[in-house]
Amino acid sequence: MSAGVPVLKPLQVVRALEALGFAEVRQRGSHKQLRHPDGRGTTVPVHQGPDISPSLLRNIARDDGLPFEAVVQAAVAAENTVAEPNARGCYCGLWDTHPEVLERRGVPRGYCGLCRVCGRPRHLRHFPGAAPATLAWCDWHYRRVALTHPSAPLGCLLWLAVAAGLVFLLRWLGRA
């Protein structure tokens, strides 16, 4: 590892690039593609677990036409702006600690973000299931996913009940 280069997770690099003006334009598999309004773009691999190597970070900085040190500094600064969810599960506390982050994203006061599903300003929560996800959804979409997604606790029970009902129905029809 290069001396003085912090070990960064992929999402830290994505946050750093967003702080430098880049926006996610699409995601293909586990690769996020980001583009700057002036046309520069890059791809960041967001795999589960592995860190971004210093050489890959240098390549990302070179693709973006940015000094390597600027990307590292933005990543360290972005890491310090991550808020913890409050008792409700949303991130409204970010208005008290780092309002510039929400203002830069265009979030109106009184809300903690924009829903990734409907795009409207709402109070946001993260994916309710056992699988980690970086998506933030409004309460309505969160509750819908919590009740229907197979990896969410209640969704798992719902799908098990559906499967048990189908087995019962098939056995009952087999007797008739």
Q: What is the pLDDT of residue 84?
A: 56
Residue with tokens 């990302």: 60
Q: What is the pLDDT of residue 40?
A: 86
- What is the mean pLDDT of the segment spanning 54-61? 86
**Is the pLDDT at 1 greater than 50, yes or no?**
no
Beta-sheet strands, E only, within 12-163: 23-28, 31-35, 41-45, 113-114, 121-122, 124-126, 136-138
Segment 66-118, tens digit of pLDDT:
888 888 888 777 665 555 556 666 667 777 777 777 787 788 887 877 887 78
Q: What is the pLDDT of residue 89?
A: 64
Q: What is the pLDDT of residue 111?
A: 81
CA distance 162 to 144: 17
User: Could you tell me the pTM of the whole model?
Assistant: 0.47
Q: What is the pLDDT of residue 36?
A: 85
CA distance 80 to 127: 22
Q: What is the pLDDT of residue 170?
A: 92
Q: What is the pLDDT of residue 71?
A: 82
CA distance 113 to 45: 24
Segment 10-52, tens digit of pLDDT:
888 888 888 888 888 888 888 888 888 888 888 888 877 678 8
Segment 113-149, tens digit of pLDDT:
788 778 888 877 766 555 445 567 787 887 787 777 7
* Tokens coding 162: 């559906």
